[in-house]
Structure 1
């Protein structure tokens, strides 16, 4: 039996942890969660997102702009996040509408596709 989702992982280029922490921890305001000692030497970092985790790993020679794979962050104030991202020069991509939700997409500074979604 599958009980739920524990974490999801995205990747960034090796050595770009500081830039990624600036985006994910400072701009998006996600708190960093300490990795277990046994995994600290592998690079990357972990984020706490509500009661789940996003693991940010490192991976080179991968074109993140070619994939539709993404994370969708559920938010309470979609307009706020649109404003924050635009102020930080992140291009907003209008998403195809789906019933019961407002949403938009963007690419993080490394090319990862990200969605912000709000129930209506």
Structure 2
């Protein structure tokens, strides 16, 4: 993993994000919803199930599972 910072960009409009490839995407969706984390729908990708949410700093985080 590489972590960097930039000045002068809007976290809410950038496509930059962290993605986690998970086996049980339903588990993570339920876990986040249980903790009142807003789930954001993603643009569909064939053969994948995915969703996004924002971390406490406004960064986009993706959870993705291959079908």
Aligning the two structures, in what range does the TM-score lie when normalised by the shorter sequence?
0.7 to 0.9
Query: What is the RMSD computed on CA atoms of the aligned residues?
Result: 2.0
1:64-103 correspondence runs (5 A): 64-103=11-50
* Larger relative helix fraction: 1
Normalising by structure 2, we get a TM-score of: 0.84
Task: Provide the aligned length of Structure 1 versus Structure 2.
Answer: 67
Which protein shows a greater Rg? 1
Normalising by structure 1, we get a TM-score of: 0.49
Question: 1:66 aligns to what SS in structure 2?
Answer: coil
Instruction: Give structure 2 stretches of 5+ with no counterpart.
Output: none
Identify if the C-alpha distance between structure 1 residues 63 and 76 changes in structure 2 by more than 3 Å, giving closer, same or farther.
same
Structure with more relative contact order (C-alpha pairs < 8 Å, separation 6 or more): 2
* Larger relative strand fraction: 1
Instruction: Give structure 1 stretches of 5+ with no counterpart.
Output: 1-6, 12-58
